């Protein structure tokens, strides 16, 4: 029996959908299968053929305009002119690896570290978030002398051998490492606990104890601070502190995977972890820091990083190359000059309020939660039992596609719409999204 995963297969085109496609789309899907193989996935039962993007909007081959409510990789907006100009100018001058001196990587690092707590004072660069998290695991193991890594139940941290081994969201077909332990997600909607932070800290301690019972030494806790793959779990602010205290008390480190919640997206803070008042030992970033240009980073406390870097040379051929650094610098400048963190806070709060109003019209909406422009929209069969409604979530994404709104699902039950638009999303776009959700749910009779 074929395995399925939440992150890859839940909202995806599959062979049984092919007969419903028009000839041009069918030709592209057939060719894609032939030349790219079967591991790749497309969104939607009827895939979207995109040809252009600008800001928060995308256009398909037929000229239809879509509202992108999912793509955080183009973090400040598709085809942002500042990034295009910076990359173009640097490409004309030089693009080579980091074993030569160059000012860009140093200037950018100073700017980036200025956004972090003082204790985080070192940076290293790669090309993808997977590589950053891979290195973070190696650093955790070097610092702690252990191998055990704890992640949340539906976490996604990458596709390398190390990171796929700590990414349960990839599904049952991808085995987890024997040294990986899963912790129940801090879901304020479903967990009935007077103190969610204490409950979550206890869950982590249980997994550390299980490691000890199996002869595994604990190395670290790796988490995306908004728990996006677990269904977007941002609140209450501060609940992570007790968990981090438990991690440190057991000799491990806390790795904050900021690929998704970082760079102003939550509105409350520049970094997602900062909403919880914690200082990670290691921070990882990914392609949103370059608006989609392949660049990622690992930021760390110098004493934690030294356990690895003092003994093991690290070289990532094009990690931190001048063109990637130019893109990253442009993104950082735009976030500051366009006030995108505050924009995310203000517009995100207005969007959240409008989405919550839909609960009065549609009993199928169990919960709407979020921080800034990162919102989870949970669908249930019954509000009292909170029974997840995965089928409705999938049908809703298809209906939204018909209304030219693009998003997808998350969470262990596949019943949470992850609403995470580029930061170019404007107040004027709220009506489009909310109306599309309202009409789609009405059309589905829910």
Which CATH number goes with the domain that contains 376? 3.90.1150.10
Report the candidate in 195, 193, 275, 177 with the shortest Cα–Cα distance to residue 227: 275
Integer Cα distance of 294 and 100 in angstroms: 20
Do 283 and 432 lie in a common domain?
A: no
Distance CA 68, CA 47 (A): 15
Whether residues 211 and 85 fall in one domain? yes
pLDDT in tens, 131-159: 999 999 999 999 999 999 999 999 999 99
Mean local confidence (pLDDT), 351-363: 97
Find the domain containing 370 and state its range: 48-78+340-444
| Statement to judge: residues 219 and 292 lie in one domain | yes
Tens digit of each residue's pLDDT (9 = 90 or more) over 61-104:
999 999 999 999 999 999 999 999 999 999 999 999 999 999 99
Do 328 and 396 have their domain in common?
no
- Please indicate, yes or no, if residue 122 is contained in any of the structural domains: yes
Across 168-193, average pLDDT: 93
Q: Does residue 127 lie within any of the structural domains? A: yes
Say yes or no: 102 and 74 in one domain: no
Beta bridge partners of 222: 255
Same domain, 169 and 250: yes
CA dihedral sign, ordered 103, 106, 110, 112: positive
Q: Does residue 43 form part of some domain?
A: no
- Phi and psi at residue 444, in whole multiples of 5°? -85, 0
Query: Tens of pLDDT along 250-281?
Result: 999 999 999 999 999 999 999 999 999 999 99
Q: Are residues 201 and 61 in the same domain?
A: no
Judge if 315 and 410 occupy the same domain: no
pLDDT tens for each residue of 374-398: 999 999 999 999 999 999 999 999 9
Residue 48's closest CA among 19, 13, 74? 13
Last residue of a domain, one of 306, 338, 370: 338
Among 338, 356, 385, give the residue marking a domain's end. Answer: 338
Residue 17 pLDDT class (50, 70, 90 cuts): confident
CATH number for position 170 = 3.40.640.10
Confidence band for 305, pLDDT divided at 50, 70 and 90: very high
The answer for residues whose C-beta is within 8 angstroms of residue 313's C-beta and 6 or more apart is: none
Other residues' Cβ atoms within 10 Å of the Cβ of residue 2:
7
- What confidence tier does 14 reach under pLDDT thresholds 50, 70, 90? low
End-to-end CA distance of the chain: 32
Output 54-61 pairs: Cβ under 8 A, ≥24 positions apart. 54/78, 54/79, 55/79, 55/80, 55/422, 55/424, 56/421, 56/422, 56/424, 56/425, 56/426, 56/429, 58/406, 61/24
394 domain residue, yes or no = yes
Q: What is the spatial distance between Cα 446 and Cα 444, in angstroms, rounded to a whole number?
A: 5
Q: Are residues 121 and 239 in the same domain?
A: yes
The domain boundary residue, chosen from 281, 312, 338: 338
Q: Are 232 and 376 in contact (CB under 8 A)?
A: yes
Answer whether residue 365 is part of any domain.
Answer: yes
Residue 326 and residue 374 in one domain = no
DSSP state of 430: H
> What's the number of domains the chain is made of?
2
Task: Note whether 358 and 366 are within 8 A (CB).
Answer: no
307, pLDDT greater than 70: yes
Backbone Cα Rg of the chain: 21
| Residue 68 and residue 105 share a domain | no
- Domain check: are 65 and 168 in the same one? no
pLDDT of 22 = 81
- What pTM did the predictor assign? 0.94
d(CA 190, CA 203): 15
- Where residue 66 falls (left for φ over 0; alpha for ψ -120 to 50; beta otherwise) is beta
Residue at 246 is within a domain:
yes
Domain membership of residue 42 (yes or no) is no
- Which of these, 403, 407, 393, 369, lies nearest to 446 by C-alpha position? 393
pLDDT at 1: 30
Q: Which pLDDT score is estimated for 42?
A: 78
Residue in 236, 241, 235 with CA at minimum distance from that of residue 277: 241
The pLDDT tens digits of the residues spanning 224-250 come to 999 999 999 999 999 999 999 999 999
Res 16: pLDDT: 65
Question: What is the percent of the chain where pLDDT is above 90?
Answer: 86
pLDDT band at 8 (very low <50, low <70, confident <90, very high): low
Distance between CA 203 and CA 388 in Å, rounded?
A: 23
Q: Is residue 29 part of a domain?
A: no
Give the pLDDT band (50/70/90) at residue 290.
very high
The helix/strand/coil state of 126 is: strand
Note if the bond before 236 is cis, omega within 30 degrees.
yes
Give 264's contacts (C-beta < 8 A, 6+ positions apart).
270, 335, 340, 341, 344, 372, 423
């Amino acid at each position: 029996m074929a395995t399925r995963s939440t992150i890859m297969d839940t909202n995806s085109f599959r062979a049984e959908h092919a007969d419903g496609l028009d000839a041009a789309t069918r030709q592209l899907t057939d060719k894609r299968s032939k030349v790219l193989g079967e591991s790749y996935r497309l969104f939607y039962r009827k895939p979207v053929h995109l040809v252009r993007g600008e800001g928060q909007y995308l256009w398909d081959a037929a000229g239809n305009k879509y509202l992108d409510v999912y793509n955080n990789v183009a973090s400040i907006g598709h085809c942002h002119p500042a990034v295009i100009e910076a990359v173009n100018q640097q490409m004309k001058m030089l693009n080579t690896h980091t074993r030569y001196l160059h000012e860009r990587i140093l200037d950018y690092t100073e700017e980036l570290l200025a956004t972090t707590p003082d204790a985080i004072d070192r940076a290293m660069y790669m090309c993808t978030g997977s590589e950053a998290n891979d290195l973070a695991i190696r650093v955790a193991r070097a610092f702690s002398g252990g191998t055990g890594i704890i992640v949340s139940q539906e976490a996604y941290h990458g596709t390398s051998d190390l990171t796929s081994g700590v990414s349960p969201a990839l599904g049952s077909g991808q085995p987890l490492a024997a040294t990986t332990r899963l912790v129940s997600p801090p879901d304020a909607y479903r967990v009935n606990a007077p103190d969610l932070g204490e409950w979550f800290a206890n869950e982590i301690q249980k997994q550390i104890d299980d490691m000890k019972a199996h002869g595994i030494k604990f190395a670290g806790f790796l988490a995306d601070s908004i728990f996006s793959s677990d269904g977007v779990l941002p609140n209450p602010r501060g609940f992570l502190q007790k968990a981090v205290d438990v991690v440190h008390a057991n000799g491990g480190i806390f790795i904050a995977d900021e690929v998704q919640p970082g760079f102003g997206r939550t509105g409350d803070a520049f970094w997602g972890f900062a909403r919880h008042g914690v200082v990670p030992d290691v921070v990882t970033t990914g392609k949103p820091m370059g608006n989609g240009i392949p660049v990622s980073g690992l930021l760390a406390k110098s004493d934690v990083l030294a356990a690895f870097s003092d003994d093991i040379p690290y070289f990532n051929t094009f990690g931190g190359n001048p063109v990637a650094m130019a893109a990253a610098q442009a993104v950082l400048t735009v976030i500051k000059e366009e006030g995108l963190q505050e924009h995310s806070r203000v517009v995100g709060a207005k969007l959240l309020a409008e989405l919550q109003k839909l609960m009065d019209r549609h009993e199928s909406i169990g919960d709407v939660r979020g921080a800034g422009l990162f919102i989870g929209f949970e669908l249930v069969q019954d509000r009292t039992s909170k029974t997840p409604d995965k089928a409705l979530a999938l049908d809703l994404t298809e209906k939204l596609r018909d209304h030219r709104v693009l998003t997808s699902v998350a969470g262990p039950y596949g019943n949470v719409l992850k609403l995470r638009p580029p930061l170019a999303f404007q107040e004027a776009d709220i009506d489009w999204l909310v109306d599309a959700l309202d009409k789609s749910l009405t059309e589905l009779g829910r």
